[in-house]
Structure 1
Amino acid sequence: MAAVVSEETFTLTDRQSFAILDWAAEQPQSGLVLRAFLASVALAALRPEEALALRVRDVEVAESGTSWLLIRPQAQERRKRDSDRAVAVRRVPVCRELAAMLKEEAIRRDLHPGDAIFVLDDGRPLTAEVYRKVWRQARAAVLQAHEIDSPLGRHVSALRDARIAEWLKNGDQTAGHLLAVAECAGMSAPRLAERFAYCLRKPTRDEIPWDRLEAALAVPDLPSQPASTARRP
């Protein structure tokens, strides 16, 4: 019988995620673009297919220096897992490191606004077949033997899961915080809470507002006798 473990056991740590990015960058063929692609999944919590669909014009930089990625509907429509997710342009905040990485790719290749960001050094587009092969190699090179034989980081999307988990754990976990994370991740709030329940802090018994709950659930007092109704003559 297989051992029962929590999903948290198989969440990549920041150290493991960044080690994989470093390994990708060191590859002699397409190392920089592979690192940038994996970084967009690891740092912006994009789905791999959403990252593949990114164009230069989808990187938005405000005058304040704040950067965003615009995730277009055509990329979202490929996923039907979250059926209640609104199909609209999604704006995902981007850290300075990722924004600089994407900008470097655009400059290095002299890309135009409508060009795909992630293209291999030989001019071929980066495909799922290519990045999955690279991921298997990176995983084998970075993880320890006992980790390789486990579900840890089995798929590229493990980078996305690790980032979402960090967003949840490092916030106040109020309703507003959960909604903000769900919006950035392109998920519904109920789906987020279900999928990442292990990241949510459970309140202690003393923290539960029992008096307010009791008041909210109380049934209004009913009259002891029904009100008399006047009869028609």
Structure 2
Amino acid sequence: MAAVVGAKTFHLTDRQCFSILDWAAEQPQNGLVLRAFLASIALAALQPKEALVLRVRDVELADDGSGWLLIHPQGQERRETDSERAGAERRVPACRELVALLKAEIARRDLRPDDAIFVLDDGRPLTAPVYRKIWQQARAAVLEAHEADSSLGRNISALRDACIAAWLKNGDQSAAHIFVVAECAGMSAPRLAERFAHCLRKPTRDEIPWDRLEAALALPDLSSEPAPTAVRRP
């Protein structure tokens, strides 16, 4: 990830994201659950409201230590206009680091399948006012003064944006890859391409398949002999 990827586009770097997670973990109250919550946004590109409703039963574990998160429809972006996507569940890949954090949080609190994963140490549910306050404190503690004064990471969704940008830039950026990233992020592919256009590499002239384009746009061969005309009967 790059902190500045365009004249008006900012993303947190890997170092900044993980520094924020480490800062959260060091807090004497709710530090471990806050780190796990922020990691679900930074490593799986969840929206904060999607992470808040995540339950133990929504975490699927693979044999190799990775896993999947089952995201339910109520977490879909309100701006999503695709009605078919708006009512569909989606499975989001979870890397080993995120799975380890979630498993540790589940074991630490001895959570059951129907329990919410992100609960404060005193048993109260984690809420938006709580995580927003922690986010602003973490941002002020981790970022340099000039970065804190800018729009870099102003909202907690910056973790999600940084993850999506990394997914896009670390793939082959084929149409199939863009569709997969859009599905994991819970967005339509056109919206993803529009919002993260700065992450998509423009092909060089030599990479453009001119021969296939020419063949696709070519008109069918026309016969050199004139076609017979119909003869009208009197």
TM value normalised by structure 1 = 0.91
- Name the CA shift for 1:29/1:216 in 2 (closer, same or farther; >3 Å): same
Match of 1:126 in 2: 126
Give 2:80's aligned residue: 82
The share of aligned pairs that are identical, in percent, is 74
- The 3-state SS of whatever aligns with 1:213 is helix
Alpha-carbon distance change, 51 to 227 in structure 1, aligned in 2, over 3 angstroms: farther
Q: What are the within-5 Å matches in structure 2 for residues 20-169 of structure 1?
A: 20-76=20-76, 79-84=77-82, 86=85, 87-169=87-169
Answering whether residue 7 of structure 2 is matched by residue 5 of structure 1, we say yes
Q: CA deviation at 1:172?
A: 1.0
Paired residue type of 2:197: A
Aligned pairs for 1:193-212 (under 5 A) are 193-212=193-212
In the alignment, the residues of structure 1 paired with residue 29 and residue 55 of structure 2 have an alpha-carbon distance, to the nearest angstrom, of 22
SS at match of 1:150: coil
Deviation at 1:48, TM superposition (A): 0.6
* Letter in structure 2 aligned against 1:194: E
- Shift of residue 72 of structure 1? 1.0
Matched residues in 1 for 2:178 and 2:228: separation? 47
> What is aligned with 1:228?
229
1:187 aligned partner: 187
Q: CA deviation at 1:23?
A: 0.5
Runs of 4+ aligned residues of structure 1 deviating over 4 Å after TM superposition are 221-227
Shift in alpha-carbon separation, 1:227–1:181, aligned structure 2, 3 A: farther
Give the aligned CA root-mean-square deviation in angstroms: 1.8
1:122 partner SS:
coil
Cα-to-partner distance string for 1:44-65 (whole Å, 9 max, x where unaligned): 1101110001001000113454
CA shift, 1:223, in A, is 6.5
**For residue 141 of structure 1, what is the amino acid of its counterpart?**
A
Structure 2 residue matching 1:115: 3-state secondary structure? coil
Q: Which runs of 5+ in 2 are unaligned?
A: 1-5
Instruction: Give the AA of the match of 1:6.
Output: K
Distance 1:145 1:55 in 2: 37
Alpha-carbon spacing, 1:227–1:55, altered in 2? closer, same or farther (3 Å):
farther
| Number of residue pairs aligned between Structure 1 and Structure 2 | 226
For 1:64 and 1:141, locate their aligned partners in 2 and report how far apart those are by CA, in whole Å: 35
Give the match's secondary structure for 2:93. Answer: strand
Alpha-carbon distance in 2 for matches of 1:229, 1:223: 18
Q: Deviations over 1:2-32 (max 9, x none)?
A: xx9231xx10000000000000001111000
**Please, which runs of 5 or more residues in structure 1 have no aligned partner?**
none
